[in-house]
Amino acid sequence: MSRPHAGGFPWLGPEDQYQFPDCESADADGVIGVGGNLSPGMLLSAYRRGIFPWFNPEDPIIWWCPDPRFVLYLDEVHVSRSMARLLRQDRFRFTLDEAFGSVIHACAVAPRRGQAGTWITEDMELGYRRLHELGYAHSCEVWSGDRLVGGIYGVSIGRMFFGESMFSDEDNASKVALIRLSRFLLNQGFDVMDAQLHTPHVERLGGRAIPRVEFLQMVRERIEQPGPSGSWADPHTSVSST
């Protein structure tokens, strides 16, 4: 069972993967607990409750459920005229689940403004690679010729997609990855993507904050709905070219 942590948060042991604290017990920043592990069982249990891990390499695993929550409604994605022109060009090629490991590693090593390092540790990479092998974690890749220049990855349960991170090695590559993935998800019956915390990048594409209680109800409803399973690299679930 959970026990008090020195920092005031519940400490999650390996046996607690199905016993996360209620999100309403989170502190003002959204932290609900520390510890545990990044096994598929614990990660999936967290996401099903609207919880995600985020921590520095020197810290224990920290679990979050912030209020408010930042989301992107897929039918509200804003595509500027310049982005629309870029999407119509043949500058980029788009795939799904063809290079998940490369995408998450690129996200891990990508320099972040105002950050000295990365929160995607080797253990995080391994944990999400395992989820990918089980058909729960997915990626959208952006290619320039044979070179991977952008991408995004996240976790999908039912018809709820939890966006995790994205990277760009060319101008606008991460934006077009997010737009392409949003179109794919919309075509698959999804209507919202979790963006976790506010970022100007997602806000410019239409992201907005909603109350945590509203978000959690959204998660409970959508994880029970049937969604695409297995690898999204299957030709029947390819990214639309429109």
The CATH class given to the 70-237 domain equals: alpha beta
CB 62 within 8 A of CB 30: no
Closest CA to 207 of 224, 192, 217: 192
The residues facing 165 across adjacent strands are 153
* Within this chain, domains 3-66 and 70-237 share the same CATH topology: no
The label of the residue with tokens 């249990």 reads 45
Can you give the pLDDT at residue 88? 84
Can you give the pLDDT at residue 117? 44
User: For the chain, where are the E strands, in sequence order?
Assistant: 3-4, 10-12, 31-35, 52-53, 62-64, 69-73, 93-96, 137-144, 147-157, 160-168, 192-196, 208-210
Please say if the pLDDT value at position 75 is more than 80: yes
Buried b (16+ CB within 10 A) or exposed e, 105-121: bbbbebeeeeeeebbbb
Dihedral sign from CA coordinates of 43, 152, 201, 236: negative
131-174 tens-digit pLDDT: 999 999 999 999 999 999 999 999 999 999 999 999 999 988 99
Residue 143, SS3 per DSSP:
strand
Please say if the pLDDT value at position 1 is more than 50: no
CB 192 within 8 A of CB 222: yes
CATH code reported for the domain at 3-66: 3.30.70.3550
Buried b (16+ CB within 10 A) or exposed e, 176-213: bbbbbbbbbbbeeebebbbbbeeeeebeebbbebeebe
Write down the pTM of the prediction.
0.88
Start-to-end CA span in the chain (Å): 50
CB 152 within 8 A of CB 103: yes
Domain spans, the chain: 3-66, 70-237
Please say if the pLDDT value at position 17 is more than 60: no
